[in-house]
Amino acid sequence: MKQHFNTKTIVITGLLLALEIVFQLIGNYLQIGPANINLSLVPVVIAGFVGGPISAAILGFFNGIMALLSPSTIGFFMPMSPVGTVIVCLLKCTIAGVVSSLVYHGFRKLAKGKFSLIPAHIGTPIAAALVPIINTGLFILGSFIFFRDWIFDGRDVLGAWGFILIGVVGWNFLIELGSTVVLSTITNEILLTREAIQR
């Protein structure tokens, strides 16, 4: 049973990784106005739901590698701080995936235990939202740690915060948050329904 579970998790992780790469490539060219449509966080969320924290960490790490290899990262952030760029890119989505998975499975356990009045499905959108929130939050934190000189160049503290939140993050975050929550929730509900039917 353990071997079967491990094999299943590896296969699921591999399939979601391939989907993540495709979504990342599509996101480079798919735009609404100035905002890129990044769907590559959806496989990270689903990996955490289906495969667990390790699966989510793997997909989050590869998401960071793809972000690290993007032309904008290499041309813009890397010259300012190579070490900081690597740390931020590799850790932000990895941590986000793990936390999201732990929260999701925590809600599932609560729903089956003594807190059975809590609907298990409420954890799905909450956990899905955590990935873009933590991913973007750690990017902002990393920017203030590693790219501080550039952010504060000619700006006061409030102006720098406004610039990073609106100018750098802006609409991308809102679109990323909405698409990740909606697509992850729908996909997970379909998977749970199929699992229930098979039982």
pLDDT at 72 (0 to 100): 76
pTM: 0.84
Q: Name the architecture of domain 2-198.
A: Orthogonal Bundle (1.10)
- pLDDT at 2 (0 to 100): 44
Task: Map out the domains of the chain as residue ranges.
Answer: 2-198
114 in helix, strand or coil? coil
pLDDT along the chain (199 residues), means of 10: 64 93 77 64 95 95 91 84 94 97 90 63 91 92 83 61 63 85 92 72
Q: What is the pLDDT of residue 8?
A: 81
d(CA 171, CA 57): 26
State the pLDDT at residue 70. 83
Q: Using an 8 Å Cβ cutoff, are 69 and 85 in contact?
A: no
What whole-number distance in Å separates Cα of residue 176 and Cα of residue 172? 6
Tell me which amino acid residue 130 is: L
CA atoms within 13 A on the CB side of 103: 20
What phi-psi label fits residue 81: left (phi over 0), alpha (psi between -120 and 50 degrees) or beta? beta
Say what the pLDDT of residue 199 is: 60
CA distance 99 to 172: 22
pLDDT for 47: 95
Q: What gap in Å lies between CA 84 and CA 77, rounded to an integer?
A: 9
